[in-house]
Structure 1
């Protein structure tokens, strides 16, 4: 296996260009303030790395605009399945985009989400794998300054209907993608205990918030994050996505730089966090996810993926294959 190549589209050096990649976490948007659709994603994913498939993660950007509120996320599942069908035959390259689909469901509707789940499974029977309900909660405003839509509702994980909604997922052997900030890690641990057969996938390495903190605050936050992750990882039904480090909530300075960081510079800052997560969860329960386009604020796709490959250069070839494709393939049942 060769170790470097020129990126056909980007002109950038590519580390391990033949290594198969399943991007376990990407989004599409077509909104007034952001457009990132199939053409943009393919330009990134096919910029030199061997991205063979990807997992669509909901954003509610394509939900229906009418009908019962609980059923509106069905529109996004139908949209993502259409994108998947477009790329499945290879006409647009080797990447099977949205080979697995994680839709949205508002779990505070409780048992009523069961109908949505059934119709989503029927709409995308070969690809629908579960849901994500973003539950970003934090005791102050620091992480919310970067969210254009404003601060989301707080206390969602404590809503008594939330576990009723999770029970509907559990009954159907679907996946729950957990998108949180790090103080909510104990709540996810409690849910993993309550639903031991439910596959939970932690997004963005647990959403550690380090922005606008003193060195002492950062040290305390990292210690708390590691401790909570270690406790969560004791639950075998939880896996973790390696990604999200390009978001400004982590407190890195790349979005303020006038020049673009090299992949080595990205790797130097990201490496301790990535290695901590892998050490805690193990290779078999970790998977790479680009989190594009949100992570685009710190780096381009090609460079960011180079950074993760560089971080993991000391792992064996078998371990790299597991981290970059094997875990995602197994958990999201990608053929």
Structure 2
């Protein structure tokens, strides 16, 4: 590894994080223990009810943060939360893009999307569709078949009238259906969240996941978000466990379509930001400086238009 690379802080754009304040927005996960959330992230009793930018800045002081991508945090009132996020973005010292919650079966979907369009920092929307056939507590959707539902697909098609990227959070076994949806809508750009969130981490699961990653990577309208490894691989994840999955995603998508996120403050429940990004540095050491810069910074900047207002969207 280049010795200078070790000594200089890595400039990043954080592709996936949460900032929230339960005094401003209502979150059911803080009102009472949430079995589904706990099944996804483990014991979250240490998770703060308020995580502000100053907390994030303190956690990330080992890197140079040039921009962030805020993701909704399952508020009881997503519209209120995203308006709060826009006011936050207006006040921050770094540019912040916003990923807002959406439900493509919402009868007021067009109204919701029109509202989001008035907020200059909203550049993407996402829907939680993860459904574990085995464990009923690991189900973030109301039912398992949204990706195959014609009415849901028609709702997704409404994005053609709006300049938003679309994140669909699924588990690995659902990726076959996701591939079909992505093929149906080549004019909509999709974010693959959490590397497709594999559930089976054994050899058979890896082979199945790799095939789906290969199929998705053949679609030019998909970009991969490499984040939340503590949710995928457990709070005691190791570099050796993460490495083959991360490198496989990058091998198929390429550095120009892969981006890294901290998943703060959830990742604080594991080893925290610095150890996480040190691990990313170690895994990505074989890549060139340009490729690393794409994965750590420019892919997220360009995909989520970090620093660009709605009037500048292409």
Band the TM-score falls in, shorter-chain normalisation = 0.7 to 0.9
From 67, 70, 73, the equivalent of 1:59 is 73
Q: Which has the higher contact order (CA 8 A, sep 6+)?
A: 2
Describe the superposition over 1:30-87 as per-residue Cα deviations: whole angstroms up to 9, x where unpaired.
Answer: 3345424113222213x221111110111222x53xxxxxxxx221211111111121
Q: CA deviation at 1:142?
A: 7.8
After superposition, what is the alpha-carbon deviation per residue over 1:164-201, rounded to whole angstroms, capped at 9, x for unaligned?
A: 22111122121111211001111111111111010100
Please state whether the residue corresponding to 1:333 is helix, strand or coil: coil
- Relative to structure 1, the CA distance from residue 319 to residue 154 in structure 2 (aligned partners, 3 Å threshold; closer, same or farther) is same
> 1:135, CA displacement in angstroms?
0.3
Match of 1:190 among 167, 176, 180: 180
Contact persistence 1:21–1:324 (CA under 8 A): yes
Residues 281-321 of structure 1: per-residue CA shift (max 9 Å, x gap)? 11111011112223333211111011111111111010011
Match of 1:105 among 96, 102, 106: 102
TM-score by length of 2: 0.83
CA–CA distance in 1 between the matches of 2:190 and 2:276? 25
- State yes or no: 1:296 paired with 2:268: yes
Which of 218, 237, 243 is the aligned partner of 1:234? 218
**Equivalent in the alignment of 2:57:** 42
Secondary structure at the residue paired with 2:302? helix
How is 1:163-312 mapped onto 2 (pairs within 5 angstroms)?
A: 163-210=153-200, 218-247=202-231, 249-250=232-233, 252=234, 254=236, 266-312=238-284
- How well do the aligned residues superpose, as a CA RMSD in angstroms? 2.1
- How far the C-alpha of 1:326 sits from its partner, in A, is 0.9
Partner of 2:88 in structure 1?
83
In the alignment of these two chains, the number of paired residues is 280
Structure 1 unmatched runs, 5+: 6-15, 65-72, 145-149, 212-217, 256-265
Partners of 1:246 and 1:296 within 8 A in 2? no
Secondary structure, in 3 states, of the residue corresponding to 2:106?
helix
Instruction: Go from structure 1 to structure 2 and tell me whether the alpha carbon gap of 1:204 and 1:36 turns closer, same or farther (over 3 Å shift).
Output: farther
